Amino acid sequence: GVIAAGALLCARGSAAAADDVIATHRAAVGCEARTLLAEARRLLGTAATGAAPRAHLAALVTADTLARRARERAEQDVRLYGHPVADTGADLTGRGGAVLGGILLDGAAAQDTPAAFGGPRTRARRAVPPDA
C-alpha cells in the first residue's frame, strides 16, 4: 500500500544519501559505516521479493534506520579524519614547543635587531640605539 511505498522511498533516499557521503569521502570512512550501508541495501533487496506486508514494512523501516546510521557514522568518520582524539596526552597548546625554542635559541638572538616585514631597509628604523 501507500505506507509501504512511502517507506520504500524513505529507505531508498536514506541509502542513497549514505552512499553519497561514503563515495565522496572514501578515504575517511571506516568499515562500520560501509557495513551498515551494505546491510541496508541487502534489506532493500529482500523487501522487494514480495514478502508479507508486515515483514515487508519492517524490512523497509530497518533498512531506513540502518542507512541513516551509516550516514551518521560516515559523517563522524569524516569529522575525525585527520583530527586525532584530543585526549591523547599530546601538548596541543604549543607550550612545549615554545619552551624548547627558548632553550635552544641562544641569548644573542634577543640582542639583534628584530625582523621586519619590509625588507632589509626597514631594520634600521627599528634598530635599538647603541647606547641603550
Per-residue pLDDT reduced to its tens digit, 82-104? 776 655 555 555 666 666 666 56
35-39, 80-84, 104-108: lowest mean pLDDT where?
104-108
Instruction: Dump pLDDT digits (tens) for 4-27.
Output: 889 999 999 999 999 999 999 999
Higher pLDDT, 61 or 83: 61
Residue 112: pLDDT band with limits 50, 70, 90 = low
Distances (CA, A) of 75 to 18, 22, 41, 70: 9, 8, 19, 9
